[in-house]
Amino acid sequence: MDTRLTPARRQLAAALLGPFPGAGRRRGGIALGRADLHVHSHWSDGAQSPETIVLAAARRRLNVLALTDHDEIRGALRAREFAAAHPEIGVGVVVGEEISTLNGHLLGLWLAERVPPGLTALRTIELIHAQGGLAVAAHPFHPLRGAARGHRSLGALVPDLPLDGLEVVNNAGVFSRLYDAWAALRNVEWMLPVTGGSDAHDVWYLGSGVTRFPGRAAVDLREALETGHTRAHVAWSWTAGKMPRHLRIQIRSLIRFLVLCRPRMEPVQ
């Protein structure tokens, strides 16, 4: 019996068990870059400024950072401007947005303009593509981040949507690996390019979930996504000792979400 792990099996095993020792370091002799493609700043329900997050990304040895505030891109634009003004930091910034659709959350990456919330997932993807961006299904099987009443969930719609990627590592909390594993398992059928992100609302766990790709720059990352040459990895796991701090972060994030983000989520009339 062939016991070697296929790429699909490796992806599923990584989602269930964490990264393999040395996994994702090189591909075909090319060193792999590290990107966190799901991060929040204080422009939505995160704790820190975009500038602080860029500096923290450098300390975490991230090559690329996508700032994806809820229904907002101004923080991401500021992060990109700051990184461009300080190339010595060595972090490329992708302007992103976590968009609240009627079917669940989508990550819009490489955006030029804000995409409004409250539309169907299909219409949202069309608007992302119209401005040259890529659309990734965020945590498609998270039970608390699903569809509006009367609408099918994003996870159920994935096969019928023109998505550019699927988030199979979202290291937002202790139970995330369960939802990630199901996304990875379903993706054995769908074979979409995969992404990983921390879903960090505090720089404390920035880079805890990453996307690996051949190269170092944002342009290399985009090429890897478009050609299906990405990997997603859990960089560190949740332990009991981390939970008190994580709980405080989650409570603070929830308060900020209700105050700042919820008003932005009104459906477009």
DSSP assignment of 206-219 equals TTSEEEEEESSSHH
Instruction: Flag whether 136 is in a domain.
Output: yes
Instruction: Flag whether 3 is in a domain.
Output: no
269 residues of the chain, pLDDT tens digit each: 444 555 555 555 555 444 443 444 565 667 899 999 999 999 998 999 999 999 999 999 999 999 999 999 999 999 999 999 999 999 999 999 999 999 999 999 999 999 999 999 999 999 999 999 999 999 999 887 777 888 999 999 999 999 999 999 999 888 888 999 999 999 999 999 999 999 999 999 999 999 999 999 999 999 999 999 999 999 888 888 888 888 888 888 788 778 776 666 655 44
Give residue 241's pLDDT: 87
Instruction: Flag whether 4 is in a domain.
Output: no
Instruction: Flag whether 230 is in a domain.
Output: yes
Tally of domains within the chain: 1
Give residue 26's pLDDT: 61
Could you tell me the residue range of the domain that residue 156 belongs to? 14-265
Residues 214 and 229 sit within 8 Å (Cβ to Cβ): yes
- H-type helices in 67-120, by residue range? 74-85
Instruction: Flag whether 129 is in a domain.
Output: yes
Q: Which stretches does DSSP call E strand in the chain?
A: 26-27, 30-39, 64-67, 92-101, 104-109, 134-137, 165-170, 194-197, 209-214, 231-234
Give residue 18's pLDDT: 45
Tell me how far apart the alpha carbons of residues 8 and 184 are, in angstroms, rounded to a whole number.
8
Instruction: Flag whether 161 is in a domain.
Output: yes
Helix axes 7-17, 176-190, angle to 10 degrees: 170
Binning the chain into helix, strand and coil, the percentages to the nearest 5 are: 40, 20, 40
- What CATH number is given to the structural domain containing 225? 3.20.20.140
Instruction: Flag whether 5 is in a domain.
Output: no
Tell me how far apart the alpha carbons of residues 268 and 121 are, in angstroms, rounded to a whole number.
13
Give residue 256's pLDDT: 75
Instruction: Flag whether 7 is in a domain.
Output: no
> Taking the model in full, what pTM does it have?
0.86
Q: Is 168 helix (H, G, I), strand (E, B) or coil?
A: strand
Give residue 20's pLDDT: 40
Tell me how far apart the alpha carbons of residues 93 and 90 are, in angstroms, rounded to a whole number.
10
